[in-house]
């Protein structure tokens, strides 16, 4: 069973993913972090998920910052990251698709999300790309 | 020695001393008149010496040198006196060389004539008498004309000489009568004493200004001084007149120019010589000639009348002047011409006409200034009636100018205020628009997050629910959530397209390929309808566009066509044709079609063709987004439809790929 860490400042989003992906399908285990710090703490505590869902617009520490920290750390930087974003502008779209492994626009639906998770996991298993396209 | 001989010798000595005195005077001032007298008087010494030596005289003398000298000696005296008299009466020039040389000519001519013995005694005597008479007449005239004591003395001395001459004649014929000798001697003595008085005074008394005995020669000097003084004073006046800041124009009684000062010559562009002698009319044209002719009649009666004339310059341009005319009279009050004072008033005239022009312009241009205009016009009216008072008028003109200026300033200030207000208002509007966009953006994003759990959880709940009634209710709720979701997404898209900061990123886009991709992706979304896509777009139709936006554009068009086709079967045809630098793309459907009034409004925000506001499929923003995308790409979008139920065709243009651009 794959573990998914959802980083989002809205607990309802975490809950609905938990229901949709963990309870209903039973294929994934959902972990939640309400902000960037919590996410990084969990990683430091050696809780390494298979995929991270990362919200961009969060108070205090933005998704970009969290992304940078994860990618800076060699033991974490192979974790695939899917951006969850409410932003529709070009920056978000480009960053989501080029920087991360994928991006999903809110509000999403479970079916679409599942498809993307599968994609990312498959890619990771076959090619294991070292995502390091980060541009400062 | 006989007594007469002695006296003749004394007289000779007297004449010699007188001649030498005159020669001395000549040396002092180099006046040729004096040397004439010296030369004229000296030969008479021969005559008197002869008379003294040959006493008693020889009645029929032999032709000796003495005798010829005796006869010639009297002629130079007459000649010199004649020349001087003619000079005093008629010649009166400073330069005396011409009379002097004529004198010398006749001096020697007479000498030759006497010595060659051509003339006999009778002709000689008659000539002498005629000459004496002529001199007396001239002298009388001079004395009458110039009533100086010296001229009277001169006349007297000439009379004495004449009488002396006559007496000698008697004495020559009847030498035995002593009375003849005495009378001749007495006359000559008296004549020379008078002459000596005239000249001697000049040597002894230096006061040349006085009208006295010595005035004869000093008179010339005095005259010269007076002339010089006159000349100086004339020069002074001329200078004053020349430098006057007013034109002075003197015309004679035939209205011909006798004098113009430099103001006039500069004003009209002629030289003084070009103007002198020309008639006044030569400096004006037709109408003004008539006017002037009329005015000249009155000018002779009026003094100091002022007129306005237009003169013609040498270069044929016109100049407007104010002319003050007064008549010129000679010493006896006889009319001899016109004196005209001329002032250039073209500046004033121009100012006036410019002002009128400005007023006219203002009147035409701005209704707001009408009140000021009327005031100004009244003032102008008052102005034109007050033509004669130039100073006053000028001041008023100045005042009006100031008023105009202040009026203009007011206008400028008003304009500036208006501009400021417009700018401020525009900024306000822009700020509000920006705020609106920001608000929509914020609201959209804020709505998306709470929509996420709804969107995720509702299908799960609906699926799990066993009760069909509840299941139906959940379906309705989910549809509304979906509508809300679409609305939020489309609104955000439109807000971004409206934002001036959003720029399209142009890249080469293969239209045919994009359509195929979209169709592949979209097909599952329209599963409940049988949709037939017909893609007639030629392969490798490349346009310049933003891939994401072009996909959005087709997405919207396709879903629009599907939505507005009530039948189960939907046929959508894509086509593209090049036109100039553009590709015209058409998307044709077999749907409900559009009425003509709908065609105009179909691209409006939130416009829905069927007015069914409860239709959860349509947000009313799709086509607006399409049009906005096309416009952002620099293209045009329109729709054609044959009418209700006949389907519609959407057209839009996109810039075609330019091969030469080096891509």
Q: What is the pLDDT of residues A73-84, one digit of tens each?
A: 888 888 999 988
* Cβ-Cβ contacts under 8 Å, A13 against chain B: 449, 452-453
Asked if B453 and A15 come within 8 Å (Cβ–Cβ), the reply is: yes
Asked if B496 and A89 come within 8 Å (Cβ–Cβ), the reply is: yes
Asked if B459 and A110 come within 8 Å (Cβ–Cβ), the reply is: yes
Mean pLDDT, residues B445-469: 86
Distance from CA of A108 to the nearest CA of B (A): 6
Mean pLDDT, residues B276-289: 83
Asked if B451 and A107 come within 8 Å (Cβ–Cβ), the reply is: yes
pLDDT score of A43? 92
pLDDT score of A131? 43
Instruction: Please tell me the distance from the alpha carbon of residue B653 to that of residue B357, in angstroms, as a whole number.
Output: 54
**CB B147: neighbour CB atoms within 10 A?**
10
Tell whether A13 is within 8 A of chain B (Cβ): yes
Distance from CA of A121 to the nearest CA of B (A): 21
pLDDT at B64 over 80: no
Instruction: Please tell me the distance from the alpha carbon of residue B593 to that of residue B647, in angstroms, as a whole number.
Output: 4
Q: Which of B11-20, B339-348, B637-646 has the lowest mean pLDDT?
A: B339-348
B158: which 2 tokens?
Answer: 């000439």
Task: Give residues with Cβ within 8 angstroms of A73, minimum separation 6.
Answer: A43
Tell whether A57 is within 8 A of chain B (Cβ): yes
Q: Nearest-CA neighbor of B121 among B187, B161, B169?
A: B169
Interface contacts (A, B; CB < 8 Å): 61
3-state helix, strand, coil in chain A (%, to 5): 45, 20, 35
Mean pLDDT, residues A35-63: 90
pLDDT score of B419? 84
The residue of chain A with its CA nearest to that of B443 is A86
Mean pLDDT, residues A100-122: 85
Average pLDDT over chain B, rounded to an integer: 80
Asked if A16 and B451 come within 8 Å (Cβ–Cβ), the reply is: no
pTM: 0.41
pLDDT score of B525? 67
pLDDT at B490 over 90: no
Mean pLDDT, residues B57-67: 68
Q: Nearest-CA neighbor of B74 among B106, B99, B46?
A: B46
Q: Characterise B398 by phi-psi region: left (phi > 0), alpha (psi -120 to 50), beta (else).
A: alpha
Task: Give residues with Cβ within 8 angstroms of B81, minimum separation 6.
Answer: B40, B135, B139, B158
Q: How confident is the model at residue B375 (pLDDT cuts 50, 70, 90)?
A: low
Mean pLDDT, residues A29-51: 92
> What per-residue string of b and e applies to A84-122 under the rule 16 or more CB within 10 Å gives b?
bbbbbbeebbebbeebbbbbbbbbbbbeebeebbeebee
> Length of chain A, please?
136
Helix (H, G, I), strand (E, B) or coil at B321: strand
Mean pLDDT, residues B583-601: 86
* Cβ-Cβ contacts under 8 Å, A10 against chain B: 449-450, 452-453
Q: Which of B445, B446, B452 is opposite residue A16, by nearest beta carbon? A: B452
Mean pLDDT, residues B564-593: 86
Q: Which of A120-134, B95-109, B530-544 has the lowest mean pLDDT?
A: A120-134
Instruction: Please tell me the distance from the alpha carbon of residue B527 to that of residue A109, in angstroms, as a whole number.
Output: 18
Half-sphere exposure of B277 (CA within 13 A, CB side): 3
Asked if A13 and B452 come within 8 Å (Cβ–Cβ), the reply is: yes
Q: How confident is the model at residue A90 (pLDDT cuts 50, 70, 90)?
A: low
Asked if A10 and B489 come within 8 Å (Cβ–Cβ), the reply is: no
pLDDT at B363 over 90: no
**CB B78: neighbour CB atoms within 10 A?**
23
Strand B648-655 with B637-641, pairing: antiparallel
Highest mean pLDDT among A93-102, B125-134, B194-203: B125-134
Mean pLDDT, residues B280-288: 81
Q: Residue B25 burial (CB < 10 Å; 0-12/13-18/19+)?
A: buried
pLDDT score of B662? 40
The gap from C-alpha B321 to its chain's centroid, in whole angstroms, comes to: 15
Instruction: Please tell me the distance from the alpha carbon of residue B59 to that of residue B494, in angstroms, as a whole number.
Output: 159
Q: Characterise B647 by phi-psi region: left (phi > 0), alpha (psi -120 to 50), beta (else).
A: left
Asked if B453 and A16 come within 8 Å (Cβ–Cβ), the reply is: yes
The residue of chain B with its CA nearest to that of A58 is B449
* Cβ-Cβ contacts under 8 Å, A19 against chain B: 456-457, 460
pLDDT at B401 over 90: no
3-state helix, strand, coil in chain B (%, to 5): 65, 15, 25
CA separation (Å) from B501 to B114, B246, B496?
A: 133, 73, 8
**CB B349: neighbour CB atoms within 10 A?**
16
Greater pLDDT, B152 or A34: A34
Q: Is-contact B247 B341, C-beta < 8 A? A: yes
> Length of chain B, please?
663
Mean pLDDT, residues B577-605: 86
Measured over the CA atoms of residue A110, residue A114, residue A115 and residue A119, the dihedral's sign is positive
pLDDT at B650 over 90: yes
Phi, psi of B575 (to 5 degrees): -150, 160
Instruction: Please tell me the distance from the alpha carbon of residue B354 to that of residue B351, in angstroms, as a whole number.
Output: 5
Asked if B452 and A93 come within 8 Å (Cβ–Cβ), the reply is: no
Helix (H, G, I), strand (E, B) or coil at B544: strand
**CB B76: neighbour CB atoms within 10 A?**
22
Is ipTM strictly over 0.90?
Answer: no
pLDDT at A41 over 90: yes
* Cβ-Cβ contacts under 8 Å, A87 against chain B: 445
Distance from CA of B487 to the nearest CA of A (A): 12
Q: How confident is the model at residue B506 (pLDDT cuts 50, 70, 90)?
A: confident
pLDDT score of B585? 92
pLDDT score of A3? 92
Q: Name the percent of chain B lying above pLDDT 90.
A: 3
A96: which 2 tokens?
Answer: 């989501």
Mean pLDDT, residues B236-240: 80
């Amino acid at each position: 069973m794959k573990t998914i860490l959802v980083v989002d400042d809205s607990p309802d989003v975490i809950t609905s993913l938990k229901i949709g992906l963990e309870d209903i399908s039973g294929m994934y285990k959902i972990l939640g972090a309400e902000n960037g710090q919590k996410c990084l703490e969990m990683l430091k505590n050696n809780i390494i998920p298979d995929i991270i869902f990362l919200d961009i617009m969060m108070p205090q520490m933005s998704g970009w910052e969290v992304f940078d920290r994860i990618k800076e750390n060699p033991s974490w930087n192979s974790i695939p990251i899917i951006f969850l974003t409410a932003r529709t502008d070009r920056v978000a779209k480009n960053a989501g698709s080029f920087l991360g492994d994928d991006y999903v626009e809110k509000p999403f639906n479970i079916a679409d999300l599942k498809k993307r998770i599968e994609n990312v996991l498959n890619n990771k298993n076959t090619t294991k790309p070292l995502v390091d396209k980060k541009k400062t | 020695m006989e007594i007469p001989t002695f006296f003749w010798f004394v007289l000779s000595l007297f004449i010699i001393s007188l001649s030498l005195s005159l020669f001395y005077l000549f040396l002092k001032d180099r006046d040729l008149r004096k040397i004439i007298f010296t030369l004229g008087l000296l030969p008479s010494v021969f005559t008197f010496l002869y008379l003294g030596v040959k006493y008693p005289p020889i009645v029929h003398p032999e032709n000796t040198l003495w005798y010829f000298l005796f006869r010639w000696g009297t002629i130079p005296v007459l000649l010199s006196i004649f020349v001087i008299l003619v000079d005093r009466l008629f010649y009166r020039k400073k330069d005396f060389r011409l009379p002097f040389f004529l004198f010398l000519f006749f001096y020697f001519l007479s000498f030759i004539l006497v010595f060659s013995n051509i003339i006999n005694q009778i002709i000689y005597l008659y000539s002498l008498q005629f000459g004496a008479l002529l001199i007396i007449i001239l002298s009388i005239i001079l004395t009458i004309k110039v009533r100086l004591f010296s001229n009277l003395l001169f006349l007297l001395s000439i009379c004495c000489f004449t009488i002396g001459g006559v007496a000698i004649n008697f004495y020559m014929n009847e030498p035995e009568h002593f009375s003849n000798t005495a009378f001749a001697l007495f006359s000559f003595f008296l004549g020379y004493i008078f002459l000596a008085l005239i000249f001697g005074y000049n040597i002894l008394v230096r006061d040349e200004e006085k009208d006295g005995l010595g005035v004869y020669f000093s008179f010339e000097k005095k005259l010269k001084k007076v002339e010089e003084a006159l000349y100086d004073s004339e020069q002074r006046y001329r200078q004053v007149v020349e430098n006057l800041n007013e034109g002075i124009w003197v015309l004679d009684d035939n209205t011909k120019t006798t004098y113009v000062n430099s103001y006039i010559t500069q004003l009209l562009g002629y030289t003084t010589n070009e103007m002198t002698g020309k008639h006044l009319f030569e400096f004006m044209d037709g109408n003004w000639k008539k006017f002037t002719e009329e005015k000249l009649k009155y000018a002779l009666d009026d003094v100091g009348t002022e007129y306005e004339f237009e003169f013609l310059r040498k270069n044929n341009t016109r100049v407007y002047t104010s002319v003050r005319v007064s008549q010129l009279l000679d010493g006896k009050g006889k009319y001899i011409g016109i004196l005209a004072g001329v002032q250039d008033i073209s500046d004033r005239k121009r100012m006036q006409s410019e002002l009128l022009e400005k007023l006219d312009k203002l009147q035409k241009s701005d209704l707001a200034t009408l009140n000021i205009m009327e005031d100004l016009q009244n003032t102008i009216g008052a102005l034109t009636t007050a033509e004669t008072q130039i100073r006053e008028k000028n001041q008023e003109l100045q005042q009006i100018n100031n008023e105009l200026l202040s009026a203009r300033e007011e206008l400028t200030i008003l304009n500036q205020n208006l501009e400021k207000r417009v700018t401020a208002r525009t900024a306000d509007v822009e700020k509000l628009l920006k705020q609106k966009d920001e608000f929509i953006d914020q609201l959209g994003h804020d709505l998306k997050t709470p929509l996420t759990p709804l969107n995720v959880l509702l299908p799960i709940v609906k699926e799990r629910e066993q009760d069909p009634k509840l299941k139906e209710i959940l379906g309705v709720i989910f549809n509304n959530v979906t509508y809300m979701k679409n609305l939020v997404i489309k609104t955000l898209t439109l807000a971004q397209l409206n934002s001036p900061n959003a720029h399209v990123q142009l890249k080469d886009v293969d239209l045919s390929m994009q359509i195929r991709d979209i169709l592949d992706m979209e097909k599952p979304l329209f599963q409940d309808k049988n949709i037939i896509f017909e893609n007639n777009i030629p392969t490798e139709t490349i346009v310049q566009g933003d891939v994401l936006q072009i996909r959005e554009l087709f997405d919207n068009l396709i879903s629009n066509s599907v939505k507005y086709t009530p039948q189960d079967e939907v046929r959508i045809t894509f086509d593209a044709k090049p036109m100039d630098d553009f590709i015209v793309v058409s998307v044709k459907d077999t749907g409900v079609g559009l009425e003509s009034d709908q065609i105009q409004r179909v691209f409006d925000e939130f416009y829905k063709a069927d007015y069914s506001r409860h239709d959860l499929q349509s947000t009313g923003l799709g086509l607006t987004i399409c049009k906005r995308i096309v416009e952002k790409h620099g293209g045009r979008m329109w729709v054609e439809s044959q009418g209700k139920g006949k389907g519609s065709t959407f057209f839009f243009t996109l810039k075609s790929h330019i091969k030469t651009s080096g891509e």
